[in-house]
Amino acid sequence: MLVWLGLGLLTGFSDTWLTAGSAVMSVVIVMLVAVLENAQRRSDQAIQRKLEIADALADFMCETNVEQQQVDELRAAVGIEHRESTGAVSKKA
Protein backbone atom coordinates (compact mmCIF):
# COMPACT_ATOMS: atom_id res chain seq x y z
CA MET A 1 0.00 0.00 0.00
CA LEU A 2 2.75 2.44 0.92
CA VAL A 3 4.72 1.49 -2.20
CA TRP A 4 1.66 2.13 -4.34
CA LEU A 5 1.11 5.51 -2.67
CA GLY A 6 4.80 6.39 -3.05
CA LEU A 7 4.70 5.57 -6.76
CA GLY A 8 1.59 7.71 -7.07
CA LEU A 9 3.38 10.65 -5.55
CA LEU A 10 6.35 10.16 -7.90
CA THR A 11 4.16 9.93 -11.02
CA GLY A 12 1.80 12.71 -10.00
CA PHE A 13 -1.12 10.29 -9.69
CA SER A 14 -1.28 9.91 -13.48
CA ASP A 15 -3.76 7.80 -15.44
CA THR A 16 -1.08 5.15 -15.93
CA TRP A 17 -0.61 4.92 -12.17
CA LEU A 18 -4.36 4.48 -11.67
CA THR A 19 -4.59 1.88 -14.44
CA ALA A 20 -1.67 -0.11 -13.01
CA GLY A 21 -3.23 -0.01 -9.55
CA SER A 22 -6.54 -1.22 -10.91
CA ALA A 23 -4.86 -4.03 -12.83
CA VAL A 24 -2.95 -5.20 -9.76
CA MET A 25 -6.09 -5.15 -7.63
CA SER A 26 -7.98 -7.11 -10.27
CA VAL A 27 -5.28 -9.78 -10.33
CA VAL A 28 -5.31 -10.00 -6.53
CA ILE A 29 -9.11 -10.35 -6.47
CA VAL A 30 -9.07 -13.09 -9.12
CA MET A 31 -6.40 -14.97 -7.18
CA LEU A 32 -8.41 -14.71 -3.93
CA VAL A 33 -11.54 -15.99 -5.66
CA ALA A 34 -9.56 -18.92 -7.08
CA VAL A 35 -8.20 -19.76 -3.62
CA LEU A 36 -11.69 -19.63 -2.10
CA GLU A 37 -13.17 -21.80 -4.86
CA ASN A 38 -10.38 -24.34 -4.41
CA ALA A 39 -10.98 -24.45 -0.65
CA GLN A 40 -14.72 -24.98 -1.21
CA ARG A 41 -14.07 -27.77 -3.73
CA ARG A 42 -11.68 -29.52 -1.34
CA SER A 43 -14.20 -29.20 1.49
CA ASP A 44 -16.96 -30.72 -0.65
CA GLN A 45 -14.69 -33.61 -1.62
CA ALA A 46 -13.80 -34.24 2.03
CA ILE A 47 -17.49 -34.34 2.98
CA GLN A 48 -18.21 -36.84 0.21
CA ARG A 49 -15.33 -39.09 1.35
CA LYS A 50 -16.61 -38.98 4.93
CA LEU A 51 -20.11 -39.91 3.78
CA GLU A 52 -18.72 -42.87 1.86
CA ILE A 53 -16.78 -44.00 4.94
CA ALA A 54 -19.86 -43.66 7.17
CA ASP A 55 -21.95 -45.63 4.67
CA ALA A 56 -19.32 -48.38 4.55
CA LEU A 57 -19.22 -48.39 8.36
CA ALA A 58 -23.00 -48.88 8.44
CA ASP A 59 -22.63 -51.85 6.08
CA PHE A 60 -19.93 -53.30 8.33
CA MET A 61 -22.07 -52.73 11.41
CA CYS A 62 -24.87 -54.76 9.81
CA GLU A 63 -22.54 -57.75 9.58
CA THR A 64 -21.40 -57.51 13.21
CA ASN A 65 -23.19 -57.68 16.55
CA VAL A 66 -24.33 -54.07 16.59
CA GLU A 67 -27.88 -53.08 17.41
CA GLN A 68 -29.99 -52.36 14.34
CA GLN A 69 -31.10 -49.08 15.91
CA GLN A 70 -27.51 -47.78 15.82
CA VAL A 71 -27.14 -48.82 12.20
CA ASP A 72 -30.41 -47.09 11.32
CA GLU A 73 -29.30 -43.91 13.11
CA LEU A 74 -26.01 -43.88 11.20
CA ARG A 75 -27.76 -44.45 7.87
CA ALA A 76 -30.23 -41.67 8.69
CA ALA A 77 -27.38 -39.30 9.52
CA VAL A 78 -25.61 -40.18 6.28
CA GLY A 79 -28.84 -39.61 4.36
CA ILE A 80 -29.46 -36.22 5.94
CA GLU A 81 -25.89 -35.08 5.31
CA HIS A 82 -26.00 -36.34 1.73
CA ARG A 83 -29.23 -34.43 1.06
CA GLU A 84 -27.80 -31.24 2.61
CA SER A 85 -24.49 -31.49 0.75
CA THR A 86 -26.22 -31.98 -2.61
CA GLY A 87 -28.65 -29.15 -1.97
CA ALA A 88 -31.77 -31.28 -2.08
CA VAL A 89 -34.69 -29.69 -0.24
CA SER A 90 -36.96 -31.91 1.83
CA LYS A 91 -40.69 -31.27 1.70
CA LYS A 92 -42.68 -31.37 4.92
CA ALA A 93 -46.38 -32.16 4.80
Per-domain residue ranges for the chain? 2-86
CB 75 within 8 A of CB 58: yes
pLDDT tens by residue, 9-20: 887 877 887 888
pLDDT tens by residue, 32-82: 999 999 999 999 999 889 888 888 888 888 888 888 888 888 888 877 766
Q: Is the pLDDT of residue 86 over 80?
A: no
